[in-house]
Structures are given as C-alpha cells and as structure tokens.
A and B are shown apart, each in its own frame.
Chain A
Amino acid sequence: MLFACLFAPFFIVEAVMRTEEGTVRLKSNAPVAVLDGPESWMRVIACNPPAAGAGVIAGMSKAEADQISCLILQKRSPEGEQRAQSALIECAQQFSPRVESTAAGAITLDLAGLEKLFGPPKKIATAIRKHALSMGFEVNVAVAANPDTVLLIAKGIAGITVVAQGKEARVLAALPLDVLSPAAEQLDVLNSWGIHTCGALARLPSVELTERLGKEGLRLQRLAQGQTMRTLIPFERPYRFEESMQLEDAVETLEPLMFVINNLLQNVLSALRAAFLVVQELHLTLELQVCRDSNIQHRPKHTQSVSVQRVLKLPVPMQDTKTLLKLLQLDLESHRLAAPVIAVTLKAIPAKPRAAQGNLFIRSAPEAEKVEVLQAKLRSVVGPQDAQGRNTVGAPCVVDSHKPDSFAVEPFAEPSGKKKPRGTSQPEENLLRIYRPPKEARVQTRNGRPAHLFFAGLSSTVSRASGPWRHSGGWWNGNWEHDVWDVELPFSFGFGRYRIYRDLQKHGWYVRGKFN
C-alpha cells in the first residue's frame, strides 16, 4: 500500500496571496511576509523565499519589517487559510478519492490502485506537484508505504521524494527533530542529550527513553523509525442542502413563486440523491419586500425586507419532488404572504431513507406520501388548528389527564408497530357525543335539581336527572370545578339524554354532550 503527502511549506503566505475566488493575486517572486498578533505587538510569523532573501525572519516586529523596501506585509487570514486548505484538498482529489486533510497545508493521499491510471509513483508525485503549482502552491511531495512517514519526509525534504518500502528509516535518519513536531520541553531535553536528528533518536534504547520521556517519547521514536501504522481518515466534504435565489423583481403571486421554489427544490433534491439521503424537514425562508410608505411612488426608497420562515416537518422522510412541491404550495396557500417576495432560500434537513421490508401477510398502510399531501389539503379546508391549538387533521390520541374532553391529535402516519397502551379511559364519558365548545344553557332548578332546560333553541322539562357529581382539578394550571348532571328530556316522539354541568367559577350552566 502506498501513500503520498503533499506539503506546502509556505502555506500561510500562499494563503494570503490568494483571492477569494482562488486565483493568485500576487506574483510568486514578490517578497511577502505575514503578520500576526495584537495590533500593538504584530510580529512576522511567516515569509516566502524572496522575503527571506530580503532579510525577513520569523519573529521580526512590524516596525522592523517596514524598514525593508519592496516587502509586502499582509495580516494573517484564517478564512484564507481555510480556502487554501480546501483548494489543496481539491488538488489531491484530482488524483485519489481517499484523501486526508492531515494538517494545515498537508494532505495525505491513498495511492493504492492508481498505478494503472497515472503510472509509477514518481510520475504520480510529479503530476501532483505540477497541479499544485498551477493552483499557486509550491509543495513538497513524498511517497512511501506509511502515512506518518510520508508527512515527515514531505516536511523535511523539498521537492519530490519516493521511498521504497523498508527504506523509510534510512531516509528519515537525516531529518531534523523539528519534523516530528515534539513539545518544546521534550525538544530541549533531546537537544541537551545531543540528539538533533531522527536517526539519532531512532537509535536510542526504547526502555530507557520511555523511562525518561514517557509514552510521548516512545511515540516520537517510533515516528523517527518509520514504524507507526495508522488508518487514513478520509476527508468527507460536509454536505449543504441549501439553495437560495435573489429575485430581480419582487414576486407577488404564488404561481411564479412556486416556479422558483421548484427549481431550488430540484437542486436540493439532486444533492440529497447524490448523498443517498432523503428529506426529513424543509425550511423555506422568504424575504418579503415590505413597503413602509403607502405612496407607491416612494416605494423603491422606503422598502425594507422582512423574512418569513415556513417549516415543513414530514412524518416520514421522502424524496418525491411532486409531493414536496405540492406540500409547499398547500402550506403557502394556507398562510398568505403579506408582501411580495424578493428572495427565496430553501434548506433541507436530511435523513436516511426508510429501510422497511414489506410483509405479505400484513395489510398495507396508506401510502405515506399520499397521506401527507391529503392531510395538507384537508388542513387547507378545515384550518390547521382549533381554538385550543390542537390539530384539526390527524390521528386522535388520549392524553393522561382527567380534564373533560382532553385529547390530542397527532399527524396521521404509518403505524410504528409499537403497541400503545390503550383502553385505559374511564367509562364515565362513554356514550357521550361531545359538544365542542360546550353549549351554553339556561336551567331552572327545583329543590336544587334541574327541572327545565333551555339550550340551542330547545326547551324541555327534565323528566329524569342524576347527579350532581363534583368534577374538579387542574389547580396548578387553569383549574375547573363543575357540578355534573345527567338529564333526560322527553320530546314528542323520543328522548334526549344530555350531560349538563354547572361551572362553579363562571356560575353558568353548560351542555357538555348528548348520550347517543
């Protein structure tokens, strides 16, 4: 197995010499020094060979560097270094799919199987160096059978170095200890022993070295001997499933807006498909152009943008463009926008696709995508929520409360297969058809019992009544206190049996429901 490492020794300088677009803005022979530190104590931290030739050294103050003519002084740019590192990764990915971002300015490549494509290792290393040079990086390239060794050789030997398997220790022997990046104290100790090269360190007895420098000393020695072996950690570009579009003219109607959203959605979904992912949530951010002045003539001058976000949470991850577009359209139809749209951003929260195997002996559930669109359509007809903030469309479920008519509505989705506890409700509300909200009533009482009931246009004497039962609770959060009666009202050809209650806080009578 072969590995290559490309190392940019003047990485910090080359990073500031690049523009945001990735082009080199300064000539390669221009003397450039990079400053870092607080404004009053800025020091030179790196310089390129022309600057070093002009007398610049690391640690020089800004005032001293200013004295050198033609020297270009630049502040260190962490963002620029990130961009430069990405460029180096891109350079390496031109040759190998398995690439590790080992350190700043150092990339390790797995060359296994590349000989047939690019030729022998020497040729590959030359091609890598040439490609890096075209991107504005002067790099050292090393090829060896050990990922740690290639980094050390690329750090220590300029140009291209190809090391045959088993010869690593011999090549490393001449390198200074600095390439191992030891801690300052350990380097001082080793220097005090007269150890200045990797070869000298490699020859030290391991047991005695460990006794004096500990585990870290042993690790340094193994590195110097070229005996370490580790697994490469391939670089994976972080996926970003977000697309945005700035519109030249504000869009006022839904149809052209959906056209824009469709384009963005297709781009996002194609990125998701490439990563073998599906959509779990969609975040749609619309920037609205709100006119502060009602006078339209002044509109361009007096507009401000307000951003509105709609979140589409899907009960099952999906990837179908038509379904998602329809859901977004239904959502926007039910939530009218107050102003024209000037910018659209669509972001997808990804999830792994469902891996469910069908069972021949189980009745198939309604198709999740279809049901989701259906629920969105139904919500646009009946409204998304009731006055208490409960969903109007979905699967009902019981909540753990004794409060009358307490329930929840969850989005209807494919049953999870987990058995939910059921049948725990008390029988006191059985046979009751609930009135939501309870209907206000007028009740005439005789001896403390309901004798005549008026409600919703009905008026009848009470032929039978049972109760009262005190029903109260929720003292910690919106308490209720009711005296409940079950009454029977005789009509011309039948009976109406109702549950009524007297609200002891509001001092009024209500009909909770009908026994039906």
Chain B
Amino acid sequence: MSALFSIKAEIESQLSPRFPAAFGVKERPEFSLLPTGIAALDHFCGGVPCGALTEICAHPAHSSGICSLLMSLLKTTSADHFCAFIDGSDAFNVRWADALQVQLEHLLWVRCQDRSPDKPLPGRLDQALKATDLLLKANCGFNLVLLDLQDMPEKLVRRVPLDVWYRFRQTVEQLKAALVITTPAPVTGACSALVLRLQGAGAKWESTTNPPQRHGDTKEPKRSGDLVIGGSGDRVIRPSDSVERSLQEEHTHNTTLEEFCIDVEVNRRRDFQKRSAVARLQFTASRSL
C-alpha cells in the first residue's frame, strides 16, 4: 500500500508542474453579495450571492411573495448596477416597480411571448432559457440576472436537463453576476448556492370608513416607513384573524388588502458559506408605500 502511495506521489510530483489545474485544489473565492432589502434575509445570509445561482421556489397558485422579494432585490440592486429580467410569463408589473423607485432604465426586460400562427416562436420556457443563455454568454456587464419561471407548469420545468442549470452556474461563476431563478418547485439541485422556499401566510385586510385610495384622490398615499417591503418579524398575522368574518356582515368596498406575511425556508449550501444551514424566516409584503 505504501508503495502505491509513493508511486502516486512520484507521478503527481512529476506531472503537477505541467498540469497544475489537475492537481491543485481550486479555492472558491468569497462570494460578494447583493442585499435583498429584506432585513431578516439579509441578516441571515447577507443577500443574494454574486457568481452563483440562487433558486426561489413557491407554489404557482399561492400568493407566495416571490414578486415582492424580486422587486425588493431589483430596487436595492438597480440603483448601482445593471439588471436583466427574463420574464418567462410576461408578468412584470412596471407600475409597481416605478412606485418602488426601481431604476427602470437600468433594467433590461425580456418578455417571452406565446406561440401563435404568425409568430413561429419556441415555447415560453425555451425562449426564457435561450434568452438567459444568450444574456450570460454576451457578458454585457449585467450584475443581476433574474429568470422568472414561476408560472411555468412544474412538469415542464422539471424536464429541463440538469446540465442547463450547471452551465448557467459555470457561466455566472466567471461573470461574477448573480443569477436568480424563480421556479414552481426546486429543480436546480446542487447547482444553486442558495435556495429559498416561499409560502404565503396570513393577510391583513384593512377596513376603513373612508373609501380606499384610488387614482384621482387628493389624499396622500399612506407611508409606513423607508422600506416598502421589510422584515417585520414581530408582526405575525394569522389566517384565522382575517378569514372568519362573514361575507354578508362586512362592507366589502371599504376593505382593501394591505399586506400579507410570507414564510421563507432558507437553505444555504456549503459552497456558498462555510457551512450549510436551514432557517425559517418571515417578512411582510406591504401594498402601501
């Protein structure tokens, strides 16, 4: 056995100067982080890692808060960086982004379209994956690339070969850009450094004697603070608080959906930070500015 080790050591010593990459240990550089703007999440893992893939998944029919998270990330990132948003479902809300003061001129928006007889296009999923591939290969200097596959059928997304995600991961490692993918279920496996599973919780429906704020009203919109979407943590709204009222008893036109809570399961992989960890967090998505 010792003879084998000595032969191996001898071969390595002869070949290592010629092929250093094959025998050296690749030191993964420290990830720089893009803060999400959600205090609880940023406190736990610092934000979204650059040069790595982050997956955010949630049930497509639920109000899971994925868009709130993405908007908050865009708001904090677009101020200083250029971002690209590959919108697999063409669902980006421009007015919401504008109200949040996202730097829209720093955002390249790619809207995938449905196939039609006069548009011989591939399916939306193929369009989104091709567009992401092109965008990453072009190396145009986008620091954050968002790929939104949230509303895609889970079956289709699961069929995407793993090597696609692996290729994306390899590319963003070289680019030092953050790639964030939203999916209906976890599909990227070990390719992602950070996985967030989001689930909507209770909502706050605010009933007022005054009519709700509509356009044309002179009343100033309500401002709850600096952050539009922030980690409240201390305020938890249970579903039972809001659901149990009878429909007949309330005046529905005076009631508006103000905010809802989001439970986040954070799965931090080993290659992202020194040790893997799983945590449960909560933040609130608020409608008022």
Q: Report B-chain residues with C-beta under 8 Å of the C-beta of A412.
A: 108
Within the assembled complex, what's the spacing in Å between the Cα atoms of A407 and B111? 13
B1 interface contact, C-beta 8 A: no
Task: Kindly provide the distance from the CB of A213 to the nearest chain B CB, expressed in whole angstroms.
Answer: 65
Which positions 429-471 of chain A face chain B at CB distance < 8 Å? 429-436, 446-447, 449, 451, 458, 463-469
Q: Given A386-B113, A393-B110, A465-B247, A426 and B140 touching (CB < 8 A)?
A: no
Number of A interface residues at 8 Å Cβ cutoff, please give it.
72
Q: Across the interface, which residues of B come within 8 angstroms of A405, CB to CB?
A: 95
Decide: A428 near B90, CB < 8 A? Known: A363-B81, A497-B63, A497-B203.
no
Kindly state whether residue A367 has any CB partner on chain B within 8 Å.
yes
Bound together, the chains give a CA A482 to CA B205 distance in angstroms of 22
Q: Are B221 and A383 in contact (CB under 8 A)?
A: no
Alpha-carbon separation in the docked complex, A392 to B128 (Å): 12
Name which residue of chain B comes closest to A372, CB basis. Answer: B140
CB distance from B23 to the nearest CB of A (A): 37
B141 to chain A: which residues have CB within 8 Å? 364-367
CB-based contact B256/A466 at 8 Å: yes
B58 to chain A: closest CB distance in Å? 8
Q: Is B183 an interface residue (CB 8 A)?
A: no
Interfacial chain A residues near B81, Cβ < 8 Å: 363
Picked from B59, B119, B139, B287, the residue with its CB within 8 Å of the CB of A383 is B119
Contact A374 B95 (CB under 8 A): no
Which of B47-55, B65-73, B157-165 is the interface stretch?
Answer: B65-73
Interface size on B, residues (CB 8 A): 76
Q: A382 near B98 (CB under 8 angstroms)?
A: no
CB distance from B106 to the nearest CB of A (A): 7
Q: Does B168 contact A (CB under 8 A)?
A: no
Among A42-50, A292-300, A485-493, the stretch that binds chain B is A485-493
- The segment from B5-13, B210-218, B269-277 that touches chain A is B210-218
B239 touching A431, Cβ below 8 Å:
no
**Inter-subunit contact A495/B95 (CB<8 Å):** no
Of A423, A486, A516, most buried by chain B (CB within 10 Å of CB) is: A516
Q: Closest Cβ of chain B: how far from A451's Cβ, in Å? A: 8
Instruction: State whether B98 touches A374 (Cβ < 8 A).
Output: no
Q: Which of B30-38, B130-138, B188-196 contacts A (4 or more CB under 8 A)?
A: B130-138
At the interface, yes or no: B171 with Cβ under 8 Å from chain A?
no
Q: A364-B141, A396-B97, A402-B215 are in contact. Are A431 and B68 (CB under 8 A)?
A: yes
Contact (Cβ within 8 A) A366 B110: no
In the assembled complex, A241 has its CB within 8 A of some CB on chain B: no
In the complex, the answer to whether B101 meets A374 with C-beta atoms within 8 Å is: no
Q: Nearest residue in A to B206 (C-beta to C-beta)?
A: A466
| Chain B proximity of A516: nearest CB distance (Å) | 4
* CB of A70, distance to nearest CB on chain B (Å): 72
**Interface pair B101/A422, CB less than 8 Å apart:** yes
A182 to chain B, nearest CB (A): 63
With a cutoff of 8 Å between Cβ atoms, the chain A residues found around residue B278 in the complex are none
Residue among B107, B252, B285, B287 making CB contact with A396, cutoff 8 Å: B107
Given A428-B215, A467-B252, A486-B256, the answer on whether A378 and B142 have CB atoms closer than 8 Å is: no
Q: Is the CB of A515 within 8 A of B257?
A: yes
> Taking beta carbons and an 8 Å cutoff, which residues of B are in contact with A?
59, 61-68, 80-82, 90-101, 104-113, 116, 119, 121-122, 127, 130-131, 134-135, 138-142, 199-200, 202-203, 205, 212-216, 221, 239, 242-243, 245, 247-248, 252-253, 255-257, 260, 285-289
Contacts beyond the supplied A366-B141, A396-B94, A458-B61: 16 A-B pairs with Cβ under 8 Å: A365-B82, A382-B121, A393-B111, A395-B108, A396-B109, A398-B94, A398-B95, A425-B96, A427-B213, A463-B243, A466-B253, A467-B252, A469-B212, A469-B253, A494-B63, A514-B63
Q: List 23 A-B contacts (CB under 8 A).
A: A370-B138, A375-B108, A378-B134, A381-B127, A392-B111, A393-B109, A395-B106, A396-B109, A420-B105, A423-B98, A423-B99, A426-B99, A426-B214, A427-B221, A430-B288, A431-B287, A447-B248, A488-B242, A491-B59, A494-B63, A494-B64, A513-B93, A516-B68
Enumerate the 4 nearest inter-chain pairs by beta-carbon distance, A residue then B residue, closest first: A407-B94, A466-B255, A425-B95, A516-B67
